[in-house]
Amino acid sequence: MMNQEVAEENIANGVNPSPTLVIAFDAKRLFNNFTGLGNYSRTLLKNLQTYYPQHEYHLFTPKIKKNDETAYFLDDSKFIIHTPKNYNPFWRTFGMSAEINTLKPDIFHGLSHEIPFGLHKNIKTLVTFHDLIYEKFPDQFGWWDKKIYHLKYKSSAFRANHITAISESTKSDLMNIYQIPNEKISVNFQSCNDIFQLEDEHEENLKVELAGIKDYYLYVGSIIERKGLLQTIIAFAQLPESAKKPFVVVGNGNKNYISKVRDMIRYYQLEEYFYFIKGISNPELISVYDHCYALVYPSVYEGFGIPVIEALFRKKPVITSDISSLPEAAGPGAILVDPYSPEDIAKAIHWLNDPKVYKDVSEKGHQYVKSRFSSSETTRSLMELYLDLLS
């Protein structure tokens, strides 16, 4: 949609595009992280610039990695980038506040759990919380990392004027663990990259490792303990032969856990079924979704669960966990399982092989994701939050 058409639509939907706002962002993850937090930042800023181009967006980052993912944000007609003159490891926490104070933005938005110390009180501050995994699963973090995360993130939660959580689950964790009052937290769901929301298929981008393979079960994400891949393999081994299909795993992760995963595959003699790929671009990932049978994602904890909505936008059914934020992301049409129970996961996969169930789950999931997590809807919700913060 052209910018003029977007602006007219926003007015029609009650989000007045004026006055022009000056909004500053902590863009470290945008320019330097190429998984969840970075994807969130890039999607959010690209959508803001697309749907609300009249505003001024300032990106503060200690450094920049130039690649295909960040190229869009280096266009100075869309964004104004601020970096330190000299390397300073504490610039993001303490140093950049002086530059932000000089800029005098209407709002500073910390996109990943942090806002700097020393911001002037007349600058409204908003911080996004994705999850509290370091509090919920402390054994998965080193002692020093846990200490730093707890101190910095809890401090930001209390110092910010307002918090936006990416799910009701994360909001609940903030209230229960940090005792943040309900009225200080708004839930603003995230969307995924717009290219996943397009209706066309991407046959030409299919990874060479998958040549000739279709209708496979799919797992997308870091290969780490809480994501539930081991339980999925055990579940797969319990399936009747009629329900077994190739299983594609997209992602990388903890070497020790990956070794356990491969050992489990060998133990059950499932080598012929499992394919592992990594280093995949978004167009390639779209093709992987388009040719899969279903996404199987029994994670025990997620702030949101982007692979779930990516699969739903590609009209694929989802089997995911009945805990954490995943029921929110997956919606009423998804098949929810106990992520700790391989038997429950196996039962769900087997059930999904019923053509009527498959059709029903696929259609309900696609309708749900379009109505709740489209880029236009999530961006309008965020802009309304900005305006409320200034009112």
Same fold, 3-191+374-390 and 195-372: yes
pLDDT at 215 over 50: yes
Query: Which segment of 20-29, 79-88, 162-171, 242-251 scores lowest on mean pLDDT?
Result: 79-88
Task: Give this prediction's pTM.
Answer: 0.90
3-state helix, strand, coil in the chain (%, to 5): 50, 15, 35
pLDDT at 349 over 50: yes
CATH superfamily of 3-191+374-390: Glycogen Phosphorylase B; (3.40.50.2000)
Yes or no: say if 289 and 203 are a contact pair by the CB < 8 Å rule.
no
Neighbouring C-alpha atoms within 13 Å toward the C-beta of 166: 26
Yes or no: say if 79 and 48 are a contact pair by the CB < 8 Å rule.
no
Q: For 121-152, how does the pLDDT look when each residue is reduced to its tens digit (9 = 90+)?
A: 999 999 999 999 999 999 888 999 999 999 99
Domain map of the chain by residue range? 3-191+374-390, 195-372
Instruction: Name the residue among 83, 81, 118, 80 with its Cα closest to residue 101.
Output: 118
Give the pLDDT mean for 11-39: 82
pLDDT at 50 over 50: yes
269 Rama class: left (phi>0) / alpha (psi -120 to 50) / beta: left
Q: Is 151 exposed, middle or buried (0-12, 13-18, 19+ CB in 10 A)?
A: exposed
CATH code of the region 195-372: 3.40.50.2000
pLDDT at 208 over 80: no
Query: pLDDT band at 1, cuts 50/70/90?
Result: very low
Query: Which segment of 195-204, 282-291, 319-328 scores lowest on mean pLDDT?
Result: 195-204
